[in-house]
Chains A and B, each alone.
Chain A
Amino acid sequence: MRVYAVVIRILRQFIHDKRTMALMIVAPILVLTMLSFVFNGEDLKLKIGVVNVPNAVIEKIEGNDVTVTKIEATEDIKGVIKEKDYDAIMDFNNEERKLYLEGSDPSINKAVVERIKGSIGSESAETKMVILYTYGSSDMTTFDYFGPVLVGFFIFFFVFLIAGVSFLRERTQGTLERLLASPIKRWELVTGYVIGFGLFTMLQSAIIALYSIYIIDLKMEGSFFYVLLVTLMLALSALTLGILLSAFAKNELQMIQFIPLVVVPQLFFSGLFNLDTVSDYLSWIGPLTPLYYGADALRDVMIRGQGISEIWADLLVLIGFSFVFIILNVFALKKHRRI
């Protein structure tokens, strides 16, 4: 079977081209790791101001990475936070206990709240503490929240690039012409590419997903199988789109020029930034991009722990994208041979 011949050839090319193989697996891992450090710095030094808080409570909160300073009651909490660079101020002055968070950094907010709740959880059981944000709000995302989007994005990005360039090289090095002088059918060539890259992509997705979940420790509520399923479908759409667009590039550099045009904008509409705030003039773009659906499904699984009943529609759309791109590919090849 000629499809099989193409599949075997592509896998052999991967095995020989160790650098590309490494790029596709190591680069996403590297970038995700760096991002996780950037957003989830482990050694957060928290600086908390307290007003009228009992010493017993202060002792519980204080620790290696938390400094607690007693300050005088003031009306201008916001000013004090700003001036003295506090991450938070606890105010037990009135009957209602209040926690003022600095608020602009979600990871710090989280750390402060966790620390305080962990320390005084039992004591404050009857008196609920009100959390107030000086800047920002509790709705702000954290790495846990956009991690799944980034996992999807990097898989999409690298599969798009590598698949596009390798199909492009098929053209520039003359092997496409040589292939089309053989009795291979156009759909056999495209299918061979999809399966060959698909097999490699499965491996890539599995490694990146495993790494993100178990090493970077991304929040993972749902089933690993669904994560794999979503990333694979997303990768297939990247693969078929990459091959398709390579038909419109003359060389590798022109292929790279598609990245800011086609790949990066997808990130803006994938939920990395709050979609509700996207201007109406642009919000229609999101639903046209595969990453929009991939990211949504990944978040459903990883953050909300949902299963197939929630993600099937996203998966279906992704399969639809791939299918349309495959058909367009078969047609694009007509340019090179009519039958």
Chain B
Amino acid sequence: MDTYPVQASVTKRYGKTTILDGIELTFQRGEIFGLLGPSGSGKTTLVKLLCGIEEATEGTVQVFNQQMPDLNVMNRMGYMAQADALYVELTAKENLEFFASLSGVKRTERKERIQEVMKLVDLEQHLDKKVETYSGGMKRRLSLAIALLHKPDILLLDEPTVGIDPSLRQRIWDTFEALRMKGVLILVTTHVMDEAERCSRLGLIREGKLIAVGTPDEIKTNTKSTTIEQAFLTYGGVKR
């Protein structure tokens, strides 16, 4: 197995607007990589490039030595979009069953997997409810459950914990940690600084440029800050 399952070297433009400018990143198995940056900095575009929905204007994304988009590789990835992509007129169970059969979860394992992921996001009680009756946080959790359903090797999560209360957020991060130990690569975008502290490595993006990469400690040391938040502001050119 490759030590760097994901290698990205990308520039993305929409017309004349440059969204991502020469981003070079490699990700390892068994790490949680946190992508930080103000809104509009290009985090979501980067995630979409990595999961193969978007393609780079220049450069490539290689996952498991395959150039993206590649359908076989895509089945080994779990993607959670920033906006909940759910069929609200269906029940949670029907949503899960649909995505499970799309990503080829075996019929015999399906029921068990659905129970597992729903337990993880604390929604087992609400399996047969229609998604339109769900709250924002519940929808977020269901989206996460769907991303985890087929035991992906790579998880791409775009702001997975927005609208989720702190105690459940802790539990979800414990899950990420457990998956990381199993060798899963997890990429999250986040705005929450205590989540950033729990990442193995961080990447700071600003106006489409990667301005810093390193462990949380490295980033703090380099900027002589005591918190990630301060470091972030320092890199952004805002002095406190």
- Chain A: residues with CB nearer than 8 A to chain B? 2, 4-6, 8-9, 12-13, 16-17, 173-175, 177-185, 336-339
Q: Tell whether, in the assembled complex, residue B90 and residue A16 are in contact, meaning their CB atoms are under 8 Å apart.
A: yes
A16's contact among B69, B84, B104, B130, by CB below 8 Å, is which?
A: B130
Cα-based distance from A181 to B53 in the complex (angstroms): 6
Q: How far is the CA of A181 from the CA of B74 in the complex (A)?
A: 7
Query: Is B52 at the interface (CB under 8 A from chain A)?
Result: yes
Q: Would you call B71 and A9 a contact (CB within 8 A)? A: no
B69 contacts A2, C-beta separation under 8 Å: no
User: Most A CB atoms within 10 A — which of B83, B102, B104?
Assistant: B102
**CB-contact partner of B101 in A2, A16, A173, A337, under 8 A:** A2
CB distance from A183 to the nearest CB of B (A): 4
Residue of A at shortest CB range from B103? A182
A156 CA to B185 CA, complexed, in Å = 49
Q: What per-residue 1/0 map shows which CB atoms of B49-63 lie under 8 Å from chain A? A: 001110100000000
Q: Which residue of chain A has its CB nearest to the CB of B73?
A: A183
Instruction: Kindly provide the distance from the CB of B160 to the nearest chain A CB, expressed in whole angstroms.
Output: 14
* Given A12-B94, A338-B55; A182-B87 close (CB under 8 Å): no
Out of B75, B88, B98, which one reaches A8, CB within 8 Å? B98
Contact A182 B55 (CB under 8 A): no
Q: Report Cα–Cα, A177/B94, bound state, in Å.
A: 19
Complex contact A5–B102 (CB within 8 A): yes
Q: Which of B85, B90, B97 has the most chain A CB atoms inside 10 A of its CB? A: B85
* Interface residue ranges of B103-132 to A (CB < 8 Å): 103-104, 130
Of A4, A5, A16, A336, the residue contacting B89 (CB under 8 A) is: A16
B:38-83 near A, CB below 8 Å: 48, 51-53, 55, 69-72, 74-75, 77, 79, 81, 83
Q: How many angstroms between the C-alpha atoms of A181 and B89 in the bound complex?
A: 21
Tell me whether A2 and B102 are in contact (CB under 8 A).
yes
Whether A336 pairs with B102 at a CB distance below 8 angstroms is no
On whether the beta carbons of A9 and B69 are closer than 8 Å, the reply is no
Q: Is the CB of B98 within 8 A of A9?
A: yes
Give the contacting residue for B102; candidates A16, A179, A338; CB below 8 A: A179
Give which listed residue, A12, A13, A337, contacts B52 with CB less than 8 A: A337
Residues of A within 8 A of B138 (CB): none
Q: Which residues of B contact A339 (CB under 8 A)?
A: 69-71
Which of A5, A9, A184, A185 contacts B87, CB < 8 Å?
A9
Closest to A179 in B: B102
B53–A177 touching, CB < 8 Å: yes
Measured CB to CB, the nearest residue on chain A to B150 is A182
Contact A173 B74 (CB under 8 A): no
Tell me the minimal C-beta distance from A194 to chain B in angstroms.
Answer: 17
Closest to B77 in A: A181
- Name the distance in Å between B113's Cβ and chain A's nearest Cβ: 15
Assembly CA distance A177 to B69 (angstroms): 13
Contact check, A13 vs B89: say whether CB atoms are below 8 A apart: yes
Say if the beta carbon of B99 comes within 8 Å of chain A: yes
Q: Could you say which of B48, B70, B71, B94 contacts A185, with CB atoms under 8 Å apart?
A: B71
Q: Bound complex: CA of A8 vs CA of B97, how far in Å?
A: 10
Among A173, A181, A182, A337, find the residue whose CB has the most chain B CB atoms closer than 10 A: A181
Residues of B within 8 A of A17 (CB): 89
B residues less than 8 Å from A338 (CB atoms): 55, 69
B86 at the interface (CB under 8 A from A): yes
Query: Measured between C-beta atoms, what is the minimum distance from B81 to chain A in Å?
Result: 6
CA distance A93 to B229 in the complex (A): 108
The distance in angstroms between the C-alpha atoms of A188 and B70, with both chains bound, is 16
Q: A336 near B81 (CB under 8 angstroms)?
A: no
Contacting residue for B53 out of A9, A12, A13, A337, CB 8 A: A337
With A5-B102, A13-B89 in contact, is A182–B74 under 8 Å at CB? Answer: yes
Q: How far is the CA of A13 from the CA of B88 in the complex (A)?
A: 9
Query: When the two chains form their complex, are residues B102 and A177 in contact, meaning their CB atoms are under 8 A apart?
Result: no
Shortest distance in angstroms between B135's beta carbon and chain A's nearest beta carbon?
17
Contacts of A174 in B (CB 8 A): 81, 83-85
A242–B104 CA distance with the chains assembled, in angstroms = 29
> When the two chains form the complex, which single residue of A16, A177, A182 contacts B99, counting CB atoms closer than 8 Å?
A182
Q: Which A residues touch B88, using CB under 8 A?
A: 173
Q: Pick the contact of A4 from B69, B99, B101 — CB < 8 Å?
A: B101
Q: Is the CB of B85 within 8 A of A173?
A: yes
Q: Is the CB of B102 within 8 A of A180?
A: no
Q: Is the CB of A13 within 8 A of B103?
A: no
- The answer to whether A180 and B53 touch (CB under 8 A), given A13-B89, A174-B83, A174-B84, is yes
| 9 CB-based A-B contacts, threshold 8 Å | A5-B98, A9-B98, A16-B130, A175-B87, A177-B53, A177-B81, A177-B85, A181-B53, A336-B53
Instruction: Tell whether, in the assembled complex, residue B86 and residue A175 are in contact, meaning their CB atoms are under 8 Å apart.
Output: yes
CA–CA, A336 and B48, complex, Å: 11
Interchain CA distance A12-B90 in the complex, whole Å: 7
- CB contacts (< 8 Å) of B69 on chain A: these are 337-339
In contact, B94 and A182 (Cβ under 8 angstroms): no
A-B CB proximity, top 5 nearest = A178-B85, A174-B85, A5-B101, A181-B79, A183-B75
Name the distance in Å between A14's Cβ and chain B's nearest Cβ: 9
Residues 120-158 of B, flagged 1 when their CB comes within 8 A of A and 0 if not, give 000000000010000000000000000000000000000
Interchain CA distance A237-B52 in the complex, whole Å: 32
On chain A, the residues within 8 Å of B99 by CB distance are: 178, 182
Besides the known contacts A174-B83, A179-B102, A182-B75, 14 further A-B residue pairs in the complex with CB atoms under 8 A apart: A5-B98, A6-B98, A173-B85, A177-B85, A178-B79, A178-B81, A181-B51, A181-B53, A181-B77, A181-B79, A182-B99, A337-B53, A339-B69, A339-B71
